[in-house]
Structure 1
Amino acid sequence: MGAWQLLMVGLVMLLGLVGVLLPGVPGPWLVWAAMLWWSMHVQSGLAWVLLVGSTVVLLVNQAVVWLLPPRRVRGVGVTRRMAVFAGAGALVGFFLLPVLGAIPGFIGGIYGSERHRLGGHGPAVTSTRAVMRAVGTSVLVELFGCLLVVGAWLGAVFWG
């Protein structure tokens, strides 16, 4: 696979990660489609294992998201800025503490956004709890599954 195709697969995966945070964009499907494209072109044993593994992870991910309570965005105060902070926090946490760091990074991003908006620790903690109860858990589960797939792909590209 050439460098340009590899770059395009990476960009589609990045779009899928951003799509998890944006309503109406099928983030996990984009990540899976990029993995499928890469596997079809590389055609190695590792590529097929990653395709099957990512399919299982994303299917289990969707089942868990469906079992969670529905998202209640209205009335909680979720903004685009908060989504950007949460996504950036998850990405930073994912790379600082591989895989597991995405969870505290996501929550820390929400807290940072709320701390900036509200100005104090107490109101920011209260708002972060409310956001996590309303929408954060389902978004976090979906983002975590996609980050696992992207992380496995990055590992295969760089070290496989």
Structure 2
Amino acid sequence: MSVLGEVLVGLAIAVGLVGIVVQVLPGNALVGGALLLWAWATGGTTAWVVFAVAALLIVAAETGNWLVAGRHMRRAEVPWFTLAVGGIAGIVGFFLVPVVGLFLFFTLAVMLVELVRRRDRAAAWQATVAALQATAITIGIQLLGGLLATGVWIVGLGLT
């Protein structure tokens, strides 16, 4: 692959990593897709081994993310419906109030849904904090997987 191609793959990976943090783009899917494109264009055993290792790291991160964040939400007795409403509100908020709207609208929506569901302000706030913690856990695990996959790719660049 040409240097320009590798730079473009690197930019796609960077966009994916930002997508993990912002939680609007499918971050690790972008990272994995860029690495697949790089392996396909570069060719050879080394490129495909790099892709396979990176893909395994991404799959492990996504699986771990589901297990750990899901367990956290079950312990706090916050249903997936609450998170779905919060997620939709966060996406709407992202466009209404750029960047901060995502977190603001997510938090407010979770608080309101849980307040209606539990009818207790303290319990609703505890559920909201648990949802925010689960979101932070999700971002952390996904980012770790994406960064490890990126590191494998950087090593692969040196080897190919």
Q: Same fold (TM over 0.5)?
A: yes
SS at match of 1:9: helix
Match of 2:142 in 1: 142
Shift of 1:12: 0.2
Q: Distance in 2 between matches of 1:58 and 1:134?
A: 19
**TM-score, with normalisation over the residues of structure 1?**
0.59
Q: Confirm whether residue 49 of structure 1 aligns to residue 49 of structure 2.
A: yes
Match of 1:124 in 2: none
Instruction: Check whether the contact 2:17–2:31 (CA below 8 A) recurs between aligned residues.
Output: yes
Shift of 1:24: 2.4
Match of 2:151 in 1: 151
Q: Confirm whether residue 39 of structure 1 aligns to residue 39 of structure 2.
A: yes
**TM-score, with normalisation over the residues of structure 2?**
0.59
Q: Distance in 1 between matches of 2:131 and 2:144?
A: 17
Runs of 4 or more off by more than 6 Å in structure 1?
Answer: 71-74, 129-132
SS at match of 1:69: helix
Shift of 1:131: 8.9
SS at match of 2:69: coil
Q: Which amino acid aligns with 1:39?
A: A
Match of 1:63 in 2: 63
Q: Distance in 2 between matches of 1:139 and 1:37?
A: 24
Q: Confirm whether residue 10 of structure 1 aligns to residue 10 of structure 2.
A: yes
Unaligned runs of 5+ in 1: 84-128
Q: Distance in 1 between matches of 2:25 and 2:62?
A: 15
Shift of 1:80: 4.4
Match of 2:113 in 1: none
SS at match of 1:68: helix
Q: Which amino acid aligns with 1:16?
A: G
RMSD of aligned residue pairs (Cα, Å): 2.7
Shift of 1:130: 7.7
Which has the larger share of helix? 2
How many residue pairs align between the two structures?
110
List aligned pairs for 1:20-31, cutoff 5 A.
20-31=20-31
Q: Which amino acid aligns with 1:149?
A: A
Unaligned runs of 5+ in 2: 74-82, 88-97, 103-128
Match of 1:94 in 2: none
Q: Distance in 1 between matches of 2:140 and 2:69?
A: 13
After alignment, is 139-148 or 56-65 more displaced?
A: 56-65
